[in-house]
């Protein structure tokens, strides 16, 4: 049975009622400050948070400032909420990705960090069943999100969907229309978990534009989710560790690592497997690795390094 706190999911949650949070809860005693990190991160900084950021880029959300920083701010700027906790390992994998994207967005949207242990009423209001959990608030209302660590390419697709929804709702002047409505529709289908519709849409785009990297990435993500559907990540990794020569187990373990935000580990695992195999087995592993490269997209720096390692292993 997979741990519901850390299992990735792209499926949506039901509507939530935020009315009770418009009045802040009585103030609680301040939590003990965290010791300063060895890298000089200021005491009390959220793990993974980049220091020196403008307050409108990444904000620590509490019950006390929720109405102002989330509900009111979301009337003009989409707010993406990241629910996390100190004990959550996957949270530390997801946070740097979200923060990097928030910085790059330059205020187009704002990242709100919610410590579920310090803010249980917020976690309850948003029906948090597992962390890390991400969802957005637009115009004072929550929109669909995801649980677990997703590849950066899919997180970007989620943010794009949020910005599109904000544009439809009249929130944020910086939102622009998507360049390709076909791709937008395919991404929407993927984000709500309709893999059949997403697959058909991506394939249609590729039939007309074979070099469309975004559609290729989307189709690779559909295939990845199909392979991992119903699998318990911990059991998959345990099987792979127990039998390094089980090719199917190794490939599935690489899938799990990609979904857990450990793409580097996944690529290295399959490169090692390429070195130890030959003939059809080697070709199957090579193709699987290429499919994971497609998930990340051609511009991912980790893919460039892994491609060089693959070439060295093959030749």
Instruction: Kindly write down the DSSP assignment for every residue of 94-150, as one continuous string.
Output: HHHHHHHHHHHHTTSSEEEEEETTT-HHHHHHTT--SSSEEEEEETTEEEEEEES--
CA-to-CA distance for 254 and 314, rounded, in angstroms?
19
Respond yes or no: is residue 88 known to be catalytic: yes
The catalytic residue among 46, 88, 143, 162 is 88
Which ranges of the chain does DSSP label H, i.e. alpha helix?
A: 66, 89-105, 120-125, 152-168, 181-191, 195-208, 213-228, 233-242, 247-259, 263-276, 279-296, 301-314
User: Buried b vs exposed e over 83-100: b needs ≥16 C-beta within 10 Å?
Assistant: bbbeebebbebbbebbbe
Q: 65: number of CA atoms within 13 Å, CB side?
A: 9
Residue 173: is it exposed, middle or buried by C-beta count within 10 angstroms (0-12/13-18/19+)?
exposed
Respond yes or no: is residue 141 known to be catalytic: no
The catalytic residue among 21, 58, 91, 222 is 91
CA-to-CA distance for 212 and 196, rounded, in angstroms?
19
- Other beta carbons less than 10 A from residue 244's beta carbon: 13
Tokens 């394939």 belong to 203
CA-to-CA distance for 201 and 286, rounded, in angstroms?
26
CA-based end-to-end distance of the chain: 41
CA-to-CA distance for 300 and 296, rounded, in angstroms?
6
CA-to-CA distance for 267 and 277, rounded, in angstroms?
15
Closest CA to 238 of 249, 229, 247: 249
Active site positions, annotated: 88, 91
């Amino acid at each position: 049975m997979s741990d519901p706190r850390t299992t990735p999911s792209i499926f949506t949650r039901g509507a939530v009622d935020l009315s009770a949070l418009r009045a802040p809860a009585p103030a609680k005693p301040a939590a003990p400050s965290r010791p300063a990190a060895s890298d000089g991160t200021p005491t009390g900084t959220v793990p993974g948070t980049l220091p020196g950021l403008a307050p409108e880029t990444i904000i620590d959300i509490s019950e006390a400032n929720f109405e102002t920083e989330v509900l009111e701010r979301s009337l003009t700027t989409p707010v993406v909420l990241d629910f996390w906790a100190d004990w959550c390992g996957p949270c530390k994998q997801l946070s740097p990705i979200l923060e990097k994207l928030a910085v790059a967005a330059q205020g187009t949207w704002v990242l709100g960090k919610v410590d579920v242990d310090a803010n249980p009423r917020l976690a309850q209001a948003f029906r948090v069943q597992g962390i890390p959990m991400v969802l957005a608030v637009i115009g004072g209302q929550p929109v669909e999100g995801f649980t677990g660590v997703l590849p950066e390419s899919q997180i970007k697709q989620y943010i794009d969907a949020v910005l599109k929804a904000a544009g439809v709702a009249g929130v944020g002047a910086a939102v622009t229309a998507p360049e390709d409505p076909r791709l937008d529709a395919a991404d929407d289908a993927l984000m709500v978990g309709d893999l059949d519709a997403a697959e058909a849409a991506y394939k249609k785009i590729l039939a007309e534009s074979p070099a469309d990297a975004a559609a290729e990435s989307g189709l690779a993500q559909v295939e990845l989710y199909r392979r991992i559907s119903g699998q318990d990540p911990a059991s998959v990794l345990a099987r792979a560790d127990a039998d390094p020569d089980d090719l199917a187990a190794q490939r599935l373990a690489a899938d799990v690592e990609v979904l857990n935000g450990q793409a580097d580990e996944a690529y290295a695992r399959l490169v090692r497997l390429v070195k130890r195999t030959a003939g059809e087995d080697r070709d199957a592993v090579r193709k699987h690795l290429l499919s994971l490269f497609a998930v990340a997209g051609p511009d991912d720096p980790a893919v460039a390094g892994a491609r060089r390692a693959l070439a060295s292993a093959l030749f």
